[in-house]
Amino acid sequence: MDIRQGNKEEKLLILNSHPSVKFCDIHKSFFLSQALENVSFSIFPGTIHAIVGENGAGKSTLLKILYGIHQPDAGHIYVYGQRSTFLSSKDAINLGIGMVSQEHTIIPELTNLENIILGQEKSFWLDPELYLKKIYKLSADLNFNFNPHGRASSLSPIELQKLEVLKLLWRNSKIMIFDEPTAFMTVEDAKNFYSNMKVLARKGHTIIVATHKLLEVETYVDNVTVLRSGRVVLNGSVAEFNSDTLAQEIIGHEVSVHKEYHPKLENKILNINSVGWIKNQKKVLNDVCLNVYKGDVIGIAGVEGSGQLELFKMLAGIVYPTIGSIYLEDEDITTKSLWDRKNLGLRYIGPDRNKDGMIQDFNVIENAQLGCQRYHKVYRKGFMKYTESIRLAKQFLSTFDVKINSTRSKMSHLSGGNLQRFVNAKAFCYNPKMIVAFQPSRGLDLDAIDTFYEKLYGVVKSGAGAIIFSYDLDELTMFCNKVLVMYQGKLIEPNSKNQKNKKYLGKLMTGLDV
């Protein structure tokens, strides 16, 4: 019986009597690399099910198979008890499966309404009133404050995620797949996201989440599956496991206890002096002052729109301040270009790895050259030095153990976490003096986050400094020697006893104790 046919009672009977999704002996390889091997488990209606594992463990590959982007080499998938074959995403969508990937599919230039209905138009003639009525109903059910006529470019990360959810509901998706949905969200936004998912689960939807955030798994998720090296190593109710057990199963060995970083601070390396920035007649940065010393790893927390992103862009050289000055050691870099700052030793890791760090259709060697093409070791007398480019590519791959078959492979063959590792590695080339990073742990597994900060500590101990911008207070309080807060364009430094107090920092972020 086809679940797309039959009356409402027959459909409900099928939905309630079978797992939403059942994977049976799924195998998938790419070239000589085995991505999935003998993967079998079930996911049930009305539940939030997490799939966790290290970068390259097979999470994204499995979800893309369910969504029809990849086809398995062997094995079968059952959807509500029926064996199903997906030759494309259209087949998955027709069966009520929707997916939100790590990189949003929202088109900024379109309105929110246009983004929702794009690709689902029934004819050349659209009935806006009919569409609006349905959208208002869907958004009201989830308490979304939704302006259908607003431009998508103005949305925050949580609002973008809400728009993606509305797109799935518009397509009548009963099975919803989310790949790292809270990567760019604050703790409060993540809480709201999962609250919305619980509402949908109570209505019979199936929510599948790939994530590295074990605290969120413990707090919000019903069932969990752990993949390691493409195999299922643990599967069951979250209530049966604690985060330590999950972490140990994910990485395959006992979790090392992170040692708190206490630097020996030396000379000043960066001075931000009374910096302000007026954009569209509004102060987005106001009298920002900060000294960074050699050995410092300073964290800057904040909610979306607090000024974090603007300060990051100013330090990187993407925009210039309206007032104030920035010095790197004794060099005034206030109005120096992005390249001039790199040449002086400033490196940055941008908030969007695709836009700021690489080109997916280029291979590893070509991406290694990007951003390094003006260094004399790479570029000489009008020609790229290929030998040095290959050496750089291999260095970037080895720095954080990026898993890829060849330096000639396209970046599009990498998982999201491995892409982030590669982008992070580029910030460590040619003896950096100052590293400025925005969400550098986005999409990274536990081991990879530890490895990143161990590498960062090695660099700053040798005489560099670092500033980490993140929405994740756990990360900042764990790995930074000091945490400051951006609020309404101002940089606030808590007193010494509260610099690692997450509750107090959270109040500062929301303006409750400013």
HSE, CB side, 13 Å, CA atoms: give it for residue 263: 26
User: Both 422 and 502 in a single domain?
Assistant: no
What one-letter code names the amino acid at 245? T
Q: Which element (helix H / strand E) includes 5?
A: none
Decide if 4 is inside a domain.
no
User: Both 317 and 377 in a single domain?
Assistant: no
What's the sign of the alpha-carbon dihedral 152, 155, 157, 162?
Answer: negative
> Do the beta carbons of residue 169 and residue 199 sit within 8 Å?
no
Distance CA 403, CA 57 (A): 10
Distance CA 459, CA 444 (A): 20
User: Both 108 and 190 in a single domain?
Assistant: yes
CA angle 466, 467, 468 (to 5 degrees): 120
**Would you give the end-to-end CA distance of the chain in angstroms?**
61
Distance CA 335, CA 256 (A): 43
User: Both 146 and 184 in a single domain?
Assistant: yes
Q: Which domain holds residue 144?
A: 19-251
137: CB partners within 8 A, 6+ apart: none
> Do the beta carbons of residue 86 and residue 337 sit within 8 Å?
no
CA angle 309, 312, 313 (to 5 degrees): 90
Q: Which element (helix H / strand E) includes 420?
A: helix 416-426
Decide if 3 is inside a domain.
no
End-of-domain residue from the set 427, 456, 473: 427
User: Both 39 and 120 in a single domain?
Assistant: yes
pLDDT of residue 456: 95
Decide if 13 is inside a domain.
no
What one-letter code names the amino acid at 485? V
Q: What is the dihedral of CA 111, 116, 122, 126, to 10 degrees?
A: -30
The string of DSSP codes covering 17-69 is HS-SEEEEEEEEEETTEEEEEEEEEEE-TT-EEEEEESTTSSHHHHHHHHTTS
Identify the bridge partners of residue 467 per DSSP, sorted by sequence position: 298, 436
> Do the beta carbons of residue 98 and residue 176 sit within 8 Å?
yes
> Do the beta carbons of residue 402 and residue 409 sit within 8 Å?
no
Distance CA 209, CA 180 (A): 7
Q: Pick from 387, 417, 386: which is nearest to 402 by CA?
A: 417
Q: Which element (helix H / strand E) includes 301?
A: strand 297-301
Distance CA 140, CA 122 (A): 24
Q: CA 334: distance to chain centroid?
A: 30
pLDDT of residue 298: 96
User: Both 286 and 413 in a single domain?
Assistant: no
Distance CA 309, CA 436 (A): 11
CATH number at residue 294: 3.40.50.300
pLDDT of residue 12: 45
Decide if 402 is inside a domain.
yes
Distance CA 424, CA 441 (A): 9
User: Both 243 and 261 in a single domain?
Assistant: no
User: Both 329 and 369 in a single domain?
Assistant: no
Q: What are the pLDDT digits (tens) for 320-349?
A: 999 999 999 989 999 999 889 988 999 999
End-of-domain residue from the set 404, 427, 450: 427
Decide if 5 is inside a domain.
no
Distance CA 83, CA 7 (A): 21
Helix (H, G, I), strand (E, B) or coil at 488: coil
Decide if 213 is inside a domain.
yes
pLDDT of residue 346: 95
Residues in the chain: 514
How crowded is residue 432: how many other Cβ atoms within 10 Å of its Cβ?
Answer: 22
Distance CA 152, CA 395 (A): 38
User: Both 338 and 366 in a single domain?
Assistant: no
Given a cut of 50, the residues of the chain with pLDDT beneath it are 1-15
User: Both 513 and 377 in a single domain?
Assistant: no
Output the 3-class SS for 154-223: HCCHHHHHHHHHHHHHHCCCCEEEEECCCCCCCHHHHHHHHHHHHHHHHCCCEEEEECCCHHHHHHHCCE
User: Both 98 and 226 in a single domain?
Assistant: yes
> Do the beta carbons of residue 308 and residue 300 sit within 8 Å?
yes
Distance CA 472, CA 293 (A): 23
Decide if 2 is inside a domain.
no
What one-letter code names the amino acid at 148? P
Q: Pick from 487, 430, 441: which is nearest to 464 by CA?
A: 430
Distance CA 139, CA 144 (A): 5
323: CB partners within 8 A, 6+ apart: 274, 275, 276
| Tally of structural domains, the chain | 3
End-of-domain residue from the set 209, 227, 251: 251
User: Both 393 and 314 in a single domain?
Assistant: no
Distance CA 224, CA 50 (A): 5
Decide if 7 is inside a domain.
no
